[in-house]
Amino acid sequence: MTRRACPVHDSRQTARGAWQALAAAVLALCLLLLAPAARAQSQDSAMLVADRVFVTQPGRLVAEGSVEAFFGDWRLRATRIAYDPDGDRITADGPLLLQRGDGEVIMLADIAEIDRDLRAGLIRSARVVLGQQVQVTAGEVVRSEGRFTEMRSAVASTCEICARSNTPLWEIRARRVIHDEEARQIYFQGAQFRMMGLPLAYLPHLRVPDPSLDRATGFLRPSFTFDTALGYGVKLPYFIALGEDRDLTVTPFISSGQTRTVELRYRQAFATGTLELGGALSRDTLLRDRFRYYGYAQGQFALAGGYTLGMNLIAAGDDAYLADYDYRSDRRLTSDLTIARVSRDDRRRVQALHFHSLRRDDDNSLLPSQVIRADWERRFGMPGLGGRGLLQFEAQAHRRPAETDREGRDLARLSALGDWRNDMVLPGGVVLAGGARLAVDHVRVRNDSDFAGPITRVTPAVMAELRWPLVRHQPGGASHVIEPVAQVIWSRDGGPDVPNDSARMPELDEGNLFSHDRFPSGEQRERGLRANLGASWTRHDPAGWSTTLSMGRILRQRDLGQFSAASALGGARSDWLAALRYDSAGGLSITNRAIFGSDLRLARNDLQLDWSWARGMVSTSVLHVRANPDEDRLNDASEWRLDAEVNVDEHWTARVDWRYDLAESRAARAGVGFEYRNECLSVDVSVSRNFGQGGSVLRATNVGLSVELLGFGGSSAGPVARHCAQ
């Protein structure tokens, strides 16, 4: 028997998926038998391949025996397809198998009947796959109005079903399941939710978005918590799609008699940027007879002329609210509104900031919490002199809420800075650099009787620097670089005193060892004759790893008292700085920075280890800092932090975070979490404990549980399916 191939063309584009492939196959048969010579080729073609094609009566067309129909990327297999012109109906006998071009099965059925305009039909004993994720098995599938697919006595799941057991991990059994193609929604009537075959819940009506819909109004996955301060609780977020560019999420949080909370989040996308507003409002037993709240606003917008507008605002009704509800762990809230433009040689910025400390011992009325500043910086070449020039202009003002003398001091400053530097290579590879700098600052002080009038300060400086990089290449391909550096800077010794509000804790590190200034702002300028001395050694290995060791210190002609005697920068001779860095080709990075005096007594040590690989990441640090009353640190401080996330296998992920006070020999915070994720289910369990350090933070233990059924709406299925037992 000879199989017959029948290519045809279909110009109708209104059908979808399986229905389009089924009707196109029969349409191919009709066109071939009725007018085969009159059809021209087009891009939208259908093809029917069968063992036999014949006419049983006038107008009734039949294809039998290993029937295969092709339409675009679709493929339909059947044992028999017939077209009845009297009822204008198409009948296909199974077993029916509908596949995509990649071989994925979209539908299995025993028999199908459908009218030729694709608006109505019936499929019996069918298994339908929606959006490559949701499998629906039904005794009967009815197509109506060109958009509704009704599945009766249906079972829906996104889980892998194994041959040895036809019970999925979870399933929804329903009397009727209706898929609305236009609205892209799936409706369940008389639904029963089962886990491993056990019924857990009954829902008379249930609506979920189909897998093709990323945004739809409805409930999101719930989360369950237990907190020793707030009790048992559940969060049930409700997502409201206000449009293609806007949405609102309302999340009620109800706990066992301890709190009533509602969380809000509003998002909107604009042609030039994005905006997000959010917050929470609570009434609880921790602070009775008052509402507790916090709010935030975040946004980023592109403005004309290459400028950007950035916004990050946050405020809380009381200092403990964010920590009590585990919204944020910050010890200081920072809000800013910034307009900026950055290019290769030019930077402009206008910024307003507000700071609020959450520490119990801090008095926010005495802190410079309100700041506004504007700055402009430009780099350029220096014709004639050579090298590079820099111009900086800055205006800054800060205010304390208090109005008392000295404690309520406010300050405004205008600064201008010009800088020039030129590098040249001498014989033997020695690099000689010279430079000059001039800074002019005008300061006005309010609410401080020690600074009654305006202050103008002029600080000139000149610099000479000598570097001698020495390179050695080993036969195996490794290279060593040793570079000693000597830098001498002179700047004016004297000058009027200026209040120091924003540069009280300068640090010494490898980034500012060879700098004009160790002060982070223009309120203070480093003065006097000084030498910055140091050396570094670097090894690059052909295997991909490298290590760098650097050391240095600062020598001054005399101590001008600009730095605290207890700080690393204090005295005529600063402490020693030693820094070590190791980077491997496998994602491991180790950094250690140590500050110690001439007596080798350790003043500060900061060890940081980061390791990332294909299955996870680990980040840990150990910090030790010596007491310094000038920095409001009356005792030595030591802390160990650890954050890690590891994919144990293709389904399990483990997380841990840890913060331990080594000086007090007690934990500050600890947390552990596990996530299980497969093709149809995501379960996240976490336990955390806050041990009450940090001022207003309560001692509390929190247990969290969230469950998500994957495959509906924008929740994509897990990357790895479970393996069926052999």
Q: Tokens standing for 299?
A: 């946004």
Cα 396 to Cα 350: distance, rounded to the nearest angstrom: 10
Residue type, 679: E
Entry pTM = 0.79
Percentage of residues in the chain with pLDDT exceeding 70?
87
DSSP state of 306: G
pLDDT beyond 90 at 435? yes
User: The tokens 């050396």 sit on which residue?
Assistant: 535
First to last CA, the chain: 40
297 or 223: which leads in pLDDT: 297
Q: What pLDDT, on a 0 to 100 scale, did the predictor assign at position 649? A: 92
Cα 129 to Cα 191: distance, rounded to the nearest angstrom: 19
Q: What pLDDT, on a 0 to 100 scale, did the predictor assign at position 103? A: 58
b/e 165-192 (16+ beta carbons within 10 angstroms → b): eeebbbbbbbebbbbebeebbbbbbebb
Tens digits of residue pLDDT in 450-494: 898 899 999 999 999 999 999 999 998 999 999 999 999 999 988
Q: What pLDDT, on a 0 to 100 scale, did the predictor assign at position 414? A: 97
Helix (H) or strand (E) holding 516: none
Most confident of 77-81, 431-435, 664-668, 690-694: 431-435
Tens digits of residue pLDDT in 300-317: 999 999 999 999 999 999
Q: Is 500 exposed, middle or buried (0-12, 13-18, 19+ CB in 10 A)?
A: middle
Side-chain-side CA neighbours of residue 286 (13 Å)? 26
Q: What is the 3-state secondary structure (H, E, C) of 391-421?
A: EEEEEEEEECCCCCCCCCCEEEEEEEEEEEE
Cα 325 to Cα 293: distance, rounded to the nearest angstrom: 10
Tens digits of residue pLDDT in 210-241: 877 878 888 888 888 888 878 888 999 999 99
Least confident segment among 255-259, 555-559, 614-618: 255-259
- Rounded to 5 degrees, what angle do the CA atoms 368, 371, 377 make? 130
* Residues linked to residue 653 through DSSP beta bridges, in sequence order: 647, 675
Q: Phi/psi zone of residue 587: left (φ > 0), alpha (ψ -120 to 50 degrees), beta?
A: left
Compute how many other C-beta atoms are within 10 angstroms of the C-beta atom of residue 314: 21
686 or 40: which leads in pLDDT: 686
The separation between CA 147 and the C-alpha centre of its own chain, rounded to angstroms, equals: 38
Residues across the chain: 726
Q: What is the 3-state secondary structure (H, E, C) of 672-720?
A: EEEEEECCCEEEEEEEEEEECCCCCCCEEEEEEEEEEECCCCCCCCCCC
Side-chain-side CA neighbours of residue 667 (13 Å)? 12
What is the overall mean pLDDT for the chain?
85
Cβ atoms of 279 and 251 within 8 Å: the answer is no
Least confident segment among 148-152, 264-268, 550-554, 627-631: 627-631
> Looking at 409-497, which runs of residues are DSSP E strands?
410-425, 431-446, 455-467, 470-473, 479-491
Residue type, 235: K
Tens digits of residue pLDDT in 390-413: 999 999 999 999 999 989 999 999
Q: What pLDDT, on a 0 to 100 scale, did the predictor assign at position 102? A: 61
Radius of gyration of the chain (CA): 36
Residues 6+ apart with CB under 8 A from 290: none
Distances (CA, A) of 421 to 70, 126, 466: 73, 78, 13
Distances (CA, A) of 675 to 566, 648, 688, 707: 47, 10, 15, 10
Could you give the 3-state DSSP secondary structure of residue 328? Answer: coil
Question: What mean pLDDT is predicted for residues 105-116?
Answer: 74
681 or 130: which leads in pLDDT: 681
Distances (CA, A) of 35 to 5, 28, 29, 32: 15, 11, 10, 6
Cα 534 to Cα 513: distance, rounded to the nearest angstrom: 8
597 or 266: which leads in pLDDT: 266
- Rounded to 5 degrees, what angle do the CA atoms 187, 188, 193 make? 140
Q: Is 52 exposed, middle or buried (0-12, 13-18, 19+ CB in 10 A)?
A: middle
Question: What mean pLDDT is predicted for residues 672-681?
Answer: 92
Question: What mean pLDDT is predicted for residues 377-388?
Answer: 92
Compute how many other C-beta atoms are within 10 angstroms of the C-beta atom of residue 122: 17
Q: Tokens standing for 201?
A: 């819940």
Domain borders along the chain are 4-212, 223-419+531-555+571-709
Least confident segment among 164-173, 588-597, 660-669: 164-173
Q: What are phi and psi of 146, to 5 degrees?
A: 75, 5
Cα 438 to Cα 460: distance, rounded to the nearest angstrom: 4
Q: What pLDDT, on a 0 to 100 scale, did the predictor assign at position 20? A: 54
Q: What pLDDT, on a 0 to 100 scale, did the predictor assign at position 146? A: 73
Compute how many other C-beta atoms are within 10 angstroms of the C-beta atom of residue 366: 15
Side-chain-side CA neighbours of residue 1 (13 Å)? 10
Peptide bond before residue 95 is cis, with ω within 30 degrees of 0: yes
Tens digits of residue pLDDT in 8-62: 433 333 334 444 555 555 555 444 433 333 333 344 556 778 888 888 876 678 8
Helix (H) or strand (E) holding 31: helix 17-34
User: The tokens 């400053």 sit on which residue?
Assistant: 413
pLDDT beyond 80 at 242? yes
Residue type, 266: Y
How sure is the predictor about 721, in pLDDT bands with cuts at 50, 70 and 90? low
Q: Is 598 exposed, middle or buried (0-12, 13-18, 19+ CB in 10 A)?
A: exposed
Cα 10 to Cα 25: distance, rounded to the nearest angstrom: 10
Question: What mean pLDDT is predicted for residues 414-441?
Answer: 95
Question: What mean pLDDT is predicted for residues 646-655?
Answer: 94
Q: Tokens standing for 692?
A: 């009450």
Closest CA to 370 of 392, 341, 399, 395: 399
Which ranges in 552-623 belong to alpha helices (H)?
Answer: none
pLDDT beyond 70 at 579? yes
Cβ atoms of 525 and 441 within 8 Å: the answer is yes
